[in-house]
Structure 1
Amino acid sequence: MLCADIGDYPIRQITARDILVPLKKMEAKGRNESALRMRSAAGQVFRYAIAIGLADNDPTFGLKDALARAPVKHRSALIDPADVGAMMRAIEGFDGQPATRLALQLLAMTALRPGELRMAEWSEIDMNKAIWIIPADRAKMRRPHMVPLAPLALSKLRELQELTGWGTYLFPSIRSSKRCMSENTLNAALRRMGYSGDEMTAHGFRATFSTLANESGLWNADAIERARAHVESNEIRRAYARGAH
């Protein structure tokens, strides 16, 4: 859309107003996040142009507060212990692909993001040290995330190893071992078990984990957030809390 509106303009003559017009068109269609990403991408172009001497300023900087963010929609998750227990029993009895069942069980046990789990490679797992290391280039926070593995998680991984341990991915695609499991697989399995998108999602396991862990009173809230690979939001506190755990 930006190219259609301002693609023929000399880059030095493009103003913040020129860029705002197409962005507002996108925002009017309800595509708020796309508009924000487009502003960010345009800013990268202008900053590169400045670096090579083709532009004098980045007009997108002045648009930082001109676009509205879409309301945050939290992913559905079960948080009642009885409901969670029933779901875990349903997963245990899942009659689809065994690797899909194991993926859902490990998602519940590790609180990983679905993408981190789907794209996981066997080289990330150390069975002897009982640890799973998500590399920085796949972690959302762009820092390595170490996941301690409980005995039950290890037993599930050993079961999975018999199925897919010959390849690169823990959860390869059923169509090609060179690709990981589809992003739709886990949610489709939940639907197959009768859980609608308003009840539970693959990403919702993280909310389930956080809610139940916090309400149990057994663990420190900081430890729970670290288990979910969340970075300390307080700048001063983060500067001093540099340990891995």
Structure 2
Amino acid sequence: MPLTDAKIRNTKPGPKPAKLADGGGLYLEVRPTGAKLWRYRYRIAGKENLFAIGEYPSIALAEARAEHGKARALVKQGVHPSHNRQAERLSNQAASANTFEAVAKEWISKKSPRWTAYYSRQVTRFMQSDVFPYVGKLPIRSVTSAHLLEIVRRIEGRGAETVALLVRQWSSAIFRYAVATLRADGDPAAALKGAIHRPKVEHHKPLSRSEIVTFLEAVDKYGGYRTTVIALRLMLLTFVRTVELRKGEWSEFNLQDAEWRIPAERMKMREPHIVPLSEQAVVLLRELQTYTGGRGLLFPNYRNPKECMTATTLNRALERMGFNGKGSIGFSAHGFRATASTLLNEMGYRSDVIERQLAHSERNKVRASYNHAEYMEERRSMMQDWADFLEDPMRNKGKSTGVTTRARRPG
């Protein structure tokens, strides 16, 4: 006769274990200690086996019957219920170990050696602040498109559309890595492509000729550190990326040969880069040597000399001079590159020479195989002509500048 809850509750422990049968091999064992244990007796290959379902009342009668039904189905397939439970436990443990955060950090560690330090910090920071708090602890297989959509919408809602796009791209890469390492079945982030509106790219504003004049006058009157003034002038003369100048080291410079060799690890394209130095740039660097020449860095941080000048130092100086910030023309330190590119093109220099000096990526792989000294003589001439031009940006306005023939476009 099948068991009832009342019969189970009213059965008292005796001096010996007692078995209350429910049918189909399922029974409740009542021990002298008062423990009541669900058991399922079955046979596979003619051998009797016992499967421990759990303890009453943690597992009620209805639950015990449901588990019994699952176990009987496994037995019919020749599978031991205990073996299946062990496999499920191991699977759950693996899922718990393979959380989204764990796989993401593994992906970052694999990829970061090929990234710049800045990019590595960027990926880590945004994943930690915008993604891990919401899905980091979930098994990666249980993270859905809906989870990720909520995350990127939240980021977009605070006005950071570019960050939202990056987070979707990084998440997609993490899922692809998880699929490749057999820890995910698909990429739910792929379904979100197009869900975030890509903001219009705002290119860095260049200075016009007249604004260069105003800028140089403002630099001369700037009351901040002299090293900051030198940094601003060198940015205009060399038009390197801000980080390349800020992290510059004296060991990279040969002032005798008027040359600066930036190592590959500090370049955006991961290739070494040569900057020919004009006479004016060498003069500034020799002055800078009197301030920081005894240290490794050109521009050490005043608060922590072992670190370089912060990324905001130059923009803060531009803000104080009225070139950046509210009500200004919106010129940032990155705009020096746009300024040089725009005016050098106007002045008739070959675009290949300008692009090589800007260390831009070469899309043509055959051309990209050329070394970093490509067009060096033309670049040296152009950099000196550029420095000379900056001494009087308004001269010959709208006319041929008379630049060195080797550096100009043919014809």
* CA shift for structure 1 position 4: 4.4
Q: Determine the C-alpha separation between the residues in 2 that align with 1:29 and 1:101.
A: 36
**In the alignment, what sits opposite 2:174?**
45
Tell me: CA distance 1:131–1:48, structure 2 relative to 1, closer, same or farther (3 Å).
Answer: same
Q: Determine the C-alpha separation between the residues in 1 that align with 2:319 and 2:307.
A: 23
**In the alignment, what sits opposite 1:65?**
194
Alignment-mate amino acid for residue 239 of structure 1: V
* CA shift for structure 1 position 163: 0.8
**In the alignment, what sits opposite 1:223?**
353
Which of 132-141 and 51-60 deviates more?
A: 51-60
**In the alignment, what sits opposite 2:204?**
75
Q: Determine the C-alpha separation between the residues in 2 that align with 1:171 and 1:164.
A: 7
- More contact order relative to length (CA 8 Å, sep ≥ 6): 1
For residues 1-245 of structure 1, the aligned pairs below 5 Å read: 1-79=130-208, 81-197=209-325, 198-199=328-329, 200-217=331-348, 219-233=349-363, 237-243=364-370, 244=372, 245=374
Q: Determine the C-alpha separation between the residues in 2 that align with 1:195 and 1:45.
A: 41
Which of 133-142 and 147-156 deviates more?
A: 133-142
Which of 109-118 and 55-64 deviates more?
A: 55-64
Residue by residue over 1:126-163, the C-alpha shift from the partner in whole angstroms, topping out at 9 and shown as x without a partner, is 22332212222222222222111111111111111111
Structure 2 gap segments, 5+ residues each: 1-129, 375-411
> Given the two structures, how large is their TM-score scaled by the length of structure 2?
0.54
Alignment-mate amino acid for residue 86 of structure 1: T
Tell me: CA distance 1:174–1:35, structure 2 relative to 1, closer, same or farther (3 Å).
Answer: same
User: How many residues of Structure 1 are paired with residues of Structure 2 in the alignment?
Assistant: 240
Structure 1 gap segments, 5+ residues each: none
> Given the two structures, how large is their TM-score scaled by the length of structure 1?
0.87
- Equivalent residues of 2:315, 2:324 under 8 A apart: no
Tell me: CA distance 1:2–1:181, structure 2 relative to 1, closer, same or farther (3 Å).
Answer: closer
Q: Determine the C-alpha separation between the residues in 1 that align with 2:144 and 2:337.
A: 43
Larger radius of gyration: 2
Residue by residue over 1:198-223, the C-alpha shift from the partner in whole angstroms, topping out at 9 and shown as x without a partner, is 42221111111111111112x10121
Q: Determine the C-alpha separation between the residues in 2 that align with 1:11 and 1:203.
A: 39
2:265 alignment partner, SS class: coil
- Equivalent residues of 2:135, 2:147 under 8 A apart: yes
* CA shift for structure 1 position 232: 2.4
Q: Determine the C-alpha separation between the residues in 1 that align with 2:281 and 2:229.
A: 13
Structure 1 outlier segments of 4+, above 4 Å: none
* CA shift for structure 1 position 171: 0.5
Q: Determine the C-alpha separation between the residues in 2 that align with 1:129 and 1:73.
A: 38
Q: Determine the C-alpha separation between the residues in 2 that align with 1:6 and 1:189.
A: 41
